[in-house]
Amino acid sequence: MEIKKVECMQIPKEIKKIVKDIKDMKIQGASKVRSATIKAIKIFLRKDKSKNVESFYKNFYKVLRLLVSSRPTEPEMRTAIRILLKESKRDLKLDKLKMYLLSICEGYEKSRELALKKIAEYGSRLFEKNSIILTHCHSHTVEAILKEAYKKGLIEKVYCTETRPLFQGRKTAKSLVKAGIPTTMIVDSAVASIMHEVDVFITGADAVIEDGSVINKIGTYTISIVANRFNVPHYAACSTHKFDPITSFGFREKIEERSPKEVWQKRPKGLKIINKAFDITPSIFVKKIITEKGVFGSEAFASYMYQKLKLGEKELEKMSLQKLLEAKA
């Protein structure tokens, strides 16, 4: 009986840098994190020197676990990895398996680019002429919608929050100004003072959970409450890949808590700082979720995804990426 030697590779430095940049928020925004994840996987597929399939899978799962650990609250990343895991279970020789997975990566990114264009089109249809918009944090998907709506002559002005403590709102402001969109930045705590002018509050979504509630940058829930008080609709824009299926099995999406130094570099001794990256906006406050499959009410979107993924026929062990990866550790 032949015993195959299983070799463990050293993680390539390019992959380590991508993981570090995701952790340090140098790569941010779910779509950018997803793209960086696919890039890292492609680097692995091209650099892996495994001599047999067993070694390949050992190294492949090692890289995937490292990527998953980079950000706790990234369902779109996990969806991309889950799709690649499913496609990797092919009865192919090693070289052909790598080539096949590389083609899946390329096709996946193209499908996400097409999805973004569809979301921008669907989202732009929701605005009326001379709309004044408020947005929070930075979302490439929201940017795409606002740029498309502005091209159609539907936007008068956009308010964007600075989004403390890392000021992601500045990225939004720079992008919108570059596109020629009249843009005003406000401090996060000023939203109530301008809400009477606003027609739509629109955000991205880092995750959508089982009841249609939206996980997004900390502060989204607070602003959504204010918007609700002023009868301003809150729309969340995201790919269907942001839906987290394991929340349908009672699993709670982890809310990342980041370093206190992001808030106060040299805080007084004994001072405790809570620096949560995200909060959860209940579905009752989110009027619409804009996706590449159309525009849904928040609870209707969750129901659609439950049926689309056939979650009633599946078990947690088959949907949990962590459990799948642990099984191959």
Contacts from 88-93 at CB under 8 Å and sequence distance 24+? 88/57, 88/60
Active-site position among 21, 24, 48, 137: 137
Q: Which residue has the tokens 């952790």?
A: 23
Catalytic residue among 105, 160, 206, 244: 206
- How far is Cα of residue 176 from the mean position of the Cα atoms in its chain? 20
Please say if 137 is a catalytic residue. Answer: yes
Nearest-angstrom CA–CA distance, 329 and 325 = 6
Check if the beta carbon of residue 288 is closer than 8 Å to that of residue 233.
yes
Which pair of tokens denotes residue 102? 């590389």
Residue 206 known to be catalytic: yes
| 21-42: burial string, b at 16+ Cβ within 10 Å, e else | bbeeeebbbbbebbbbbbbbbe
Beta-carbon contacts of 203 under 8 Å, excluding residues fewer than 6 positions away, are 135, 136, 137, 139, 142, 214, 216, 217, 220, 234, 235, 236, 237
Residues noted as catalytic: 137, 206
